Structure 1
Amino acid sequence: MSTDVTQPNAANLAESEQGVSQPTRWLVFYGLIMAGFAYLSTQHVEGESYGFQSLLPALLILFVAVITKKPLESIFAGIVAGLLLLDPTNIVTGLGDISIAVVMDETIAWIVLVCGMMGGLINMLERGGSVLSFGELLAKRIKTKRGTMLTTCCLGVMVFIDDYLNSLAVSASMKNLTDRYRISREKLAFLVDSTAAPVCILVPVSTWAVYFAALLEENGATGEGQGMSLYIEAIPYMAYGWIALLVVFLVAAGILGDFSAMKQAEKRAQAGQPIPPGTQQDGFDLSGIKKTSPMVGLLNFLMPMAVLVGASVYYEIDLLLGALVASMFTMVLYFWQGLLSFGKLVDSMLDGFKVMLHPIAVVCAGFMLKEVNDQLGMTPYIIDSLTPYLSKELLPALVFAAMAAVVFATGSSWGVFVVSLPIVIPMALALGMSMPLTVGALLSASAFGSHACFFSDSTVLSSQGSGCTPMQHALTQIPYALIGAVITFIALIFLGFAMA
Structure 2
Amino acid sequence: MNTNPTLTAEALAPQRQPDLSRRSKAILFYSAIMAGFAYLGSLHSGDGGYGLFSLLPAVLTLCVAIVTRRSLEAIFAGVIAGLMLQNPVEVVTGLGDLSMSVVMNETIAWIVLVCGMMGGLINILERGGSVVSFGEILARRIKTKRGTMLTTCALGILVFIDDYLNSLAVSASMKTLTDKYKISREKLAYLVDSTAAPVCILVPISTWAVYFAALLEENGATAAGDGMSLYIDAIPFMAYGWIALLVVFLVAGGVLGNLGAMKQAERRAQQGETIPPGVVMDGFDTSGIKRVSPIVGLINFLLPMAVLVGASVYYEIDLLLGALTASLFTMVLYYWQSLLSFGQLVDSMLDGFKVMLHPIAVVCAGFMLKDVNDQLGMTPYIIDALTPYLSRELLPALVFAVMAAVVFATGSSWGVFVVSLPIVIPMAQALDMSMPLTVGALLSASAFGSHACFFSDSTVLSAQGSGCTSMQHAWTQIPYAVLGAAITFVAFLILGFAFA
Do they fold alike, i.e. is TM over 0.5? yes
In the alignment of these two chains, the number of paired residues is 500
Task: Give the AA of the match of 2:481.
Answer: A
Task: Give the AA of the match of 1:464.
Answer: Q
1:190 aligns with 2:190: yes
Q: Which residue of 2 aligns with 1:452?
A: 452
Deviations 1:139-183 (A, max 9, x none): 000000000000000000000000000000000000000000000
1:169 aligns with 2:169: yes
1:494 aligns with 2:494: yes
How much does 1:7 deviate?
6.3
How much does 1:291 deviate?
1.1
Deviations 1:280-299 (A, max 9, x none): 22463322222111110000
Task: Give the AA of the match of 2:152.
Answer: T
Q: TM-score, normalised by structure 1?
A: 0.98
Q: Which residue of 2 aligns with 1:364?
A: 364
Task: Give the AA of the match of 2:482.
Answer: L
Task: Give the AA of the match of 1:348.
Answer: S
1:16-415 alignment, distance < 5 Å: 16-282=16-282, 284-415=284-415
Q: Quick one: distance in 2 between partners of 1:5 and 1:294? A: 58
How much does 1:407 deviate?
0.2
Task: Give the AA of the match of 2:472.
Answer: Q
Task: Give the AA of the match of 2:450.
Answer: S
Q: Which residue of 2 aligns with 1:462?
A: 462
8 Å CA contact 2:283–2:465 kept in 1: the answer is no
How much does 1:9 deviate?
4.0
Q: Quick one: distance in 2 between partners of 1:417 and 1:390? A: 19
How much does 1:49 deviate?
2.2
How much does 1:3 deviate?
13
Deviations 1:304-348 (A, max 9, x none): 000000000000000000000000000000000000000000000
Q: Quick one: distance in 2 between partners of 1:232 and 1:281? A: 41
Q: Quick one: distance in 2 between partners of 1:300 and 1:453? A: 35
Deviations 1:70-129 (A, max 9, x none): 100000000000000011111111111111111111111000000000000000000000
8 Å CA contact 1:448–1:481 kept in 2: the answer is yes
How much does 1:54 deviate?
0.4
Q: Quick one: distance in 1 between partners of 2:3 and 2:192? A: 58
8 Å CA contact 1:280–1:467 kept in 2: the answer is no
How much does 1:67 deviate?
1.0
8 Å CA contact 1:459–1:470 kept in 2: the answer is yes
How much does 1:272 deviate?
0.8
Task: Give the AA of the match of 1:444.
Answer: S
Q: Quick one: distance in 2 between partners of 1:2 and 1:188? A: 48
Q: Quick one: distance in 1 between partners of 2:331 and 2:263? A: 42
8 Å CA contact 2:283–2:467 kept in 1: the answer is no
8 Å CA contact 2:283–2:464 kept in 1: the answer is no
8 Å CA contact 1:82–1:373 kept in 2: the answer is yes
8 Å CA contact 2:268–2:274 kept in 1: the answer is yes
For 1:183, what is the secondary structure of its paired residue? coil
8 Å CA contact 1:153–1:249 kept in 2: the answer is yes
8 Å CA contact 1:71–1:470 kept in 2: the answer is yes
How much does 1:5 deviate?
8.2
8 Å CA contact 2:311–2:321 kept in 1: the answer is yes
For 2:258, what is the secondary structure of its paired residue? coil
Mean Cα deviation higher: 150-159 or 14-23: 14-23
How much does 1:2 deviate?
10
How much does 1:21 deviate?
1.5
8 Å CA contact 2:186–2:472 kept in 1: the answer is yes
8 Å CA contact 1:282–1:355 kept in 2: the answer is no
